[in-house]
Amino acid sequence: MTRMGGTAQPTPPEHITHNPAGSTAPDTELENSTMKLLSKLAAAAAVLWLPAHGLAGAADTAGLLELEYTDSRPASLGVEDVNAVLNSVGVRISTVAIPDQALPVLEASRSRAITAEEEAQLISAFELTREDLLTEIAAAGREPTVENGGSLTTSEPGVAPYPKVYDMNKMDAETRVWVHKKFGPLHINHAEDGTGIDEVMTIASGGPWVWFFELPGDVIGKLTLGHVGPDGAAWRISYPGIRPHGGFLNPEYGLVVAYAHGPEQFEIHFDADNVTGSRLNGTNAWIDFAGEKPVLLDTLPKSN
Q: Are 155 and 267 in contact (CB under 8 A)?
A: no
Nearest CA-CA partner of 247 in 145, 171, 195, 194: 171
Fold adopted by 29-296: Jelly Rolls (2.60.120)
Q: Are 226 and 218 in contact (CB under 8 A)?
A: no
The model's pLDDT over 51-97, given as tens digits with 9 standing for 90+, comes to 433 444 888 999 999 999 999 999 999 999 999 999 999 999 999 99
Task: Quote the pLDDT of residue 34.
Answer: 44
The model's pLDDT over 36-50, given as tens digits with 9 standing for 90+, comes to 444 444 444 444 434
The model's pLDDT over 228-246, given as tens digits with 9 standing for 90+, comes to 999 999 999 999 999 999 9
Q: Are 96 and 77 in contact (CB under 8 A)?
A: no
Q: What number of other Cβ atoms are within 10 A of residue 264's Cβ?
A: 13
Q: Rounded to an integer, what distance in angstroms lies between the CA atom of residue 271 and that of residue 19? A: 23
Domain boundaries, the chain: 29-296
Task: Quote the pLDDT of residue 9.
Answer: 64
Task: Quote the pLDDT of residue 229.
Answer: 95
Task: Quote the pLDDT of residue 6.
Answer: 53
Q: Are 220 and 212 in contact (CB under 8 A)?
A: yes
Task: Quote the pLDDT of residue 133.
Answer: 99
Residues of the chain with pLDDT under 70: 1-56, 303-304
Q: Rounded to an integer, what distance in angstroms lies between the CA atom of residue 19 and that of residue 158? A: 10
Task: Quote the pLDDT of residue 301.
Answer: 83
Task: Please state the φ and ψ torsions of residue 220, each to the nearest 5 degrees.
Answer: -105, 125
Q: Rounded to an integer, what distance in angstroms lies between the CA atom of residue 128 and that of residue 118? A: 17
